[in-house]
Copies of this chain bind each other. A is one copy, B any other.
Amino acid sequence: MIRLADLDPRAPKSADKDKIKRATAKLVAHIGERQDRLFAQRQHSLLVVLQGMDASGKDGTARTVFGDVNPVGLHAVSFVKPTSEEMAHDFLWRVHRHAPAKGYIQLFIRSHYEDVLVQKVNGWIDADRARERYRAINAFERLLVKDAGTVIVKCFLHTSKEDQYKELRERLEDPTKQWKHNDGDWTERRRWNAYQSAYQTAINRTNTDEAPWTVVPADQAWYRNYIVAKAVADALDSLSLDYPRLPDETVQKFLAIKG
**A165 with B259: in contact, given A62-B70, A63-B70 (CB under 8 Å)?**
yes
Residues from chain B with Cβ under 8 Å of A78 in the complex: 72
Q: Which of B40, B107, B178, B251 contacts A244 (CB 8 A)?
A: B178
The interface size of chain A toward B, counting residues with CB under 8 Å, comes to 44
Q: Which of B69, B109, B161, B179 contacts A40 (CB 8 A)?
A: B179
Q: Which of A8-16, A134-142, A168-176, A200-208 contacts B (4 or more CB under 8 A)?
A: A168-176
Q: How far is the CB of A176 from chain B (nearest CB, A)?
A: 5
Q: How far is the CA of A174 from the CA of B228 in the complex (A)?
A: 32
Q: How far is the CB of A167 from chain B (nearest CB, A)?
A: 11
For A172, give the chain B residue with the smallest CB separation: B251
For A107, give the chain B residue with the smallest CB separation: B71
Please provide the chain A residues from 181 to 238 with a CB less than 8 Å away from any CB of chain B in the complex. 181, 183, 186
Residues from chain B with Cβ under 8 Å of A168 in the complex: 254
Residue in A36, A63, A68, A71 whose Cβ sees the most chain B Cβ within 10 Å: A71
Residue in A59, A165, A175, A179 whose Cβ sees the most chain B Cβ within 10 Å: A179
Interface string of A35-60 (1 = CB under 8 A from B): 01000110000000000000000010
Q: CB distance A243 to B181 under 8 Å?
A: no
Q: CB distance A62 to B67 under 8 Å?
A: no
Q: Would you call A245 an interface residue if the criterion is a C-beta within 8 Å of the partner chain's C-beta atoms?
A: yes
Residues from chain B with Cβ under 8 Å of A128 in the complex: none
Q: Which of B40, B66, B162, B255 contacts A172 (CB 8 A)?
A: B255
Residues from chain B with Cβ under 8 Å of A173 in the complex: 251, 255
Q: Which of B161, B186, B250 contacts A257 (CB 8 A)?
A: B186
Q: Would you call A131 an interface residue if the criterion is a C-beta within 8 Å of the partner chain's C-beta atoms?
A: no
Residues from chain B with Cβ under 8 Å of A92 in the complex: none
Residues from chain B with Cβ under 8 Å of A180 in the complex: 40
Q: CB distance A75 to B75 under 8 Å?
A: yes
Residues from chain B with Cβ under 8 Å of A161 in the complex: 259
Q: How far is the CA of A110 from the CA of B158 in the complex (A)?
A: 41
Top 7 nearest A-B pairs by Cβ distance? A40-B179, A165-B259, A71-B76, A178-B246, A63-B70, A179-B244, A72-B76
A-B contact pairs, 9 of them (CB 8 A): A40-B176, A41-B179, A59-B70, A74-B76, A172-B246, A173-B251, A175-B245, A178-B244, A183-B250
